[in-house]
Amino acid sequence: MNPLMDRLAEDHRRLTLVMALLEGLMDRFSDGAEPDYELMCELMEYLMDYADQVHHPSEDLIFERLLSMPGQDHEVLRRLMHQHESLAQLNRRFKESLEGIVHEEVLPRDEVEIQGRQLLAALRDHMRLEDEQAFPLAAELLGDDEWAELLAAAPSAQDPVFGQADPERFRALYGQLRAETRE
């Protein structure tokens, strides 16, 4: 592979861990228990800051390059780019609901659960489509020079949880993920 695709593949592995943690918290919520809402908010902030600001824009660069190639009209790439926008909206909406709960707003539990489950399903479907169709297409069609250009143009921020962890900002998320990977 190449450094950009390696980073995106690693991001997907890490996002899978984050989604599993969110799903566990959603299961507690669904069972009527009170999950750690602040951890859930922190998790959503991570998705909004890293996935929406670094990961997805990096993928969009690849998809745009593929779409600009003569004879390439892959609807799946357009759909994935549109999903990036939709995922950002789902992230914001769910985070706002979680923050409302933290600030003691009265919100229908079933609505909040639907938002969380929709987000998880959308993320899983989206990553599956990228892994099964878009990434193999990019690996097939793009050459070393194009990958070098894309890597240079891609956002290069460190992953704030898995890369160079920010011990203050994502303390609870980092601690929970670390504990779960030890088990």
pLDDT value, residue 71 = 75
**pLDDT tens figures, 50-63:** 999 999 999 999 99
**pTM for the complete prediction?**
0.88
Q: Could you confirm whether domain 3-182 is CATH 3.30.1490.100? A: no
Q: Which residues of the chain have pLDDT under 70?
A: 1, 72-73, 164-171, 174, 178, 180-183
pLDDT value, residue 70 = 82
pLDDT value, residue 52 = 92
pLDDT value, residue 169 = 67
Q: 3-30 and 171-182 are packed helices; what angle lies between their axes, rounded to 10 degrees?
A: 90
> Hey, where are the domains in the chain?
3-182
pLDDT value, residue 159 = 83
